[in-house]
Every structure is written in C-alpha cells, then in structure tokens.
Structure 1
Amino acid sequence: MPLLTQEPQITSVDAEQLALIRATVTFDALRSFYDDAFGKLPAAIASSGLAITGPPRGLTFGLPTDTIDVGVGFPVDGVIEVTDDVAPFQTPGGRAVTYDHRGNYDYLSDVYAELFAWIADHSLIRGDVVWEIYLTQPTPDADPEDMITQIVVPVSDAV
C-alpha cells in the first residue's frame, strides 16, 4: 500500500537561517540525538539574543549508510554565533518538492523511498540536504497518527 496519500508539490522555497546542532549518528541513536538537541537549542538561541521564528526542523545531509548525518534546528531572526554545540546554517532556497506526511514518524523512511521515486519519475534530481518541518509537536498524550511533518527536498532538472 502506498504511503504517499496526496501528490507531492513542486514549488519554490525561501532560504532560511537556522540555529543548528549537527552530528553523524547511528540510526538507533537518532531519537536520543533529536531529544538532546531539541532540549539544548531554545536556551542557546535565547542566550544569543535571537528569536525562534518558526517550527523546528530536522535535516539530513547526503544519503544515509550505516550512519546518518543529521541536524536539528530552529529558524531564527539572525545568524547565531558558533558555540561548542550550535552553529548557523542556511537552508538552500529555490525549487523544491514538498510533501506533508500525516502520521507516525516510524513511517518516514518508507515515505522518503516513495517520495524519492516520485522525484526520479518526474526527471528531477534531489539536492544534498533534505529537511523536515515539524508542523505539529509531539507530546506524551498526542496520537502519533495526528503528527504532520512537511518534507522539503530541493531539486533540479535531470541532465
């Protein structure tokens, strides 16, 4: 059964300035990395004098292997100074495919597989960084099936 429940959209996205914590981790350490980074970022952003301007982001750089190069960040209203954990990062602007996944995070890897196949079927090439925008926040009493995650994949035309 396909997991893409609606048609992905080809659109244009603006570049965004993020405060980011980035690491290369194993898949079994991914949740712990996210929890730790999301715990640290708001205080680091506040102490820098910047403000959070939107929902959190999760970024993936390159293609995963046995490990995954990931970042966790928030869009901010300036360029954060580098610390031991936090660094500035600007998402690329331009043409992108977006898709709103509604449901459990556990299905995201299969959603990505279908989305990347859709991108290839449309003669597009994905960029080096892909990100998720967490439009709903998980809470202990939230139903995982109610989560909305927007996936953003920068693309260019196949040569």
Structure 2
Amino acid sequence: MNFKGTLLHIHIAQAASYEMEELAEAECVAGRGIVGDRYFLGNGTYSGRPDVREVTLIEQEALDALARNDPPLQEGPIVLAPVDHRRNLTVRGVPLNHLVGRRFRVGEVILRGGRLNFPCKYLEQLLDLPVYLPLYNRSGLNCGIERGGVIRPGDEIELLD
C-alpha cells in the first residue's frame, strides 16, 4: 500500500465539550498528544480508557461523502466543517481504515495507528445532526505519537512500514 496524503487542518479542544480551536501549527509530544489538547492534558472524555488517543484523524473524503449524501443514509446531505467533527487532524489522501497498527509520518511527526474511531451519539447531540450512521466505519483513527515534533497544514503524510 502506497499513498501520499496531506494534512489539511489541525484542531484541539482544551476540555471535553469545549469548542474546537484551529491551529496554524501544533506541537506533538510522544506518548502524550498535541500540546494544549484535552487528551494531552488528560481531561478528554475517553482519557481514562486504555486505548491510545493521543491524536485523532479523519479523512476529508468521508466529510465530502457526507456532503454528497453518499451513501444515502440520512434525509439529505450533511455538511460538516473541520471544526465540527471533533478530530484533531483532517487529512486528504490517507486511507485511515488501513493504518491500524501501521506507522506513518505526518510532516516530521511519526504516528502509529491505534483503533478505528467510531461515531458517538454525543456528536449527534452536539451538532444536532444525524451523523452517527453515515460516519460509521469512516469516523477516523486514534493514534499514538512515536516521534514528536511540529506539524502544519500542508504537511505530507506517508506510510513508513
């Protein structure tokens, strides 16, 4: 499997339920997360869970499909802005479902794919949109940070192993 993807957006929230804030660059710390994010600070909704959630990613292609109502799982198109989906990184050209257990590079940072992220009813309530079913199996990937550094929108993403 080979791909060349791109980092489009970086978002963090200081605590669960807080509005997401877009960053022009982010410092990623190995074993911790993105500086300033709720999971870095240990106060994210799932911080107590054993799965690694240092950085979360979602594909722009999944958001584009939602906007096309493809597949037609709801009454009509749903447009989610990158600030709405509650994931840290919005990426394009990266097959996230195939990166479970794999190492990949985002700019100078090395991530390892953890478990797939599943949509939650909380997101539906927060957005007041029926996103649970259309995001099922394409809600992103939870990752651990193996090598930290600074990332910026426009950074290249590529598979390492």
TM-score, with structure 2 as normaliser: 0.31
Of Structure 1 and Structure 2, the greater helix share is in 1
- Higher relative contact order, structure no. (Cα contacts within 8 Å, ≥ 6 residues apart): 2
**Which of 1 and 2 has greater Rg?**
1
Of Structure 1 and Structure 2, the greater strand share is in 1
